[in-house]
Structure 1
Amino acid sequence: MIERIYILNNKRIEETEKEKEKLIDFLKKEGKTVQQDIDENTDLLITLGGDGTLLKGFHLVKIDRTLIFGVKFGKIGFMTNKVSDIKESLKDIFDGNFVLSERMVIGGKVVSDGKVLYDDFSLNEIVIFRKGIRIIGIRGLFDGDEFLKIRADGIIISTPTGSTAHNLSSGGPILFPEIEAIVVSLVCPYTLSSRSIVLPADRKIYFEIDGEGEIIFDGQRKFDINSNCIVEISKSERKARLVFTENVKFFERLRERFGFFKNFV
């Protein structure tokens, strides 16, 4: 039963401010509790904006059982819903008429001298990027086997959900959302040949850094790192529970948003 609801909107989009006020009135008439702050009792998070707003909301969610319903207002909305009537869509959700998509989340730890300096998680991606103008050295280890040693502006460590985001812009592969894997893609590598690599998500990945950089989680939170740090990446125990009001097929969504193989023949 969905009773307690929190609404997060992109305040830079004026239309979402007006829509939020309308939704508050509607939800109260429906007998729902509209929360001022999100907490462990929140049943549903509604985001009004694009994928960035949804990611911001995901990082506010306290427990996995909270459903996330993203409504597209922004320019990029691969994880959000394009709906003509939000109120009718919410009525369907309250009646249990929706598609639930559980998404894998990855965790990232920054370790130095055996101590964990920072620990966070991402639904889309973890990015390790240079701090200043100098490129950084990156060494990647998987199962004790070195799979990466290069100098670059940075690397993108992506989930299947995030494979259609920054990873895609960097030439990385698209992964089906239900696959449990991690993609490692390079950002401006200093080489004439570079390829993304897809790794299984059931084992840890380690990155050693040579230089000054920062680690960024879903574009929401970041932490400075240096040559004394090791970054540990692993599948998180957390899950993201995304709500879709229509059973839109994955490749149909790719065609709609990116023109994937649209009118190819």
Structure 2
Amino acid sequence: MTSLLPKVLTYAAFPAVAIVVGSLIAAIREPGAGLRSGVQHFAAGTVFSVLAVELLPDLMHRRMPWPTLIGFSLGVALMLTLKWIGDRAEKAEGERSTRGLVTAMGVDVGLDGTLIGLSFAAGAKQGLLLTVGLVLELLFLGVSCATSLRSAGRARSVIIRTTAMLVVALLVGAAAGAILLSSVTPVYVDAMLAFGVAALLYLVTEELLVEAHEEIETPVQTAMFFLGFILLFIIDMLI
């Protein structure tokens, strides 16, 4: 654990900085809908590339179907539960309240950090590639968080404090993932990796792409998904 934890936290520092940068961008000038859609498509493509090229083949090579099934099922169940809780909180609190939104973002960021830690179950290269994909996703999340708080009339100090909390959640999640990875047997590692695959699939299909399709999109924005996929694919081939 002592050797893995510093490496994981170093990798997690990059998406943590991306959250801060995204928040600063929104504080200066909110990106347009077209730019947001393009970034979301690109981020979805990069994350999907890591899944298709690295994480899923690694699970296949491990050949542990039952731990994989259990871990994957638990990942799906958790993501659907979080969606249900978030939807209920949003309906209960009304449009102007941001507490439910910030809580959901905090859980999402903490889970992303945990996935960075767990991705090292497949190797350092996989951890690096997943971190690259999550940098873009968390950059957009920082933009979304600051924009939502500004729209609700929150003070700048609240935005800064919330951004700091998201960064802490990411780093704590990454540390937790590294500790779990260093403390369990290979069977549990396989289950945790399958759990991470389910969470990332949900991130791509039910968050990034759904939000990217909320606005009318152009062929260029759609092409960003495939650009993100092939770029990370080529990077993987060159590493």
Q: TM-score, normalised by structure 1?
A: 0.21
The one of the two structures with greater contact order (alpha-carbon pairs below 8 A, sep at least 6) is 2
Structure with bigger gyration radius: 1
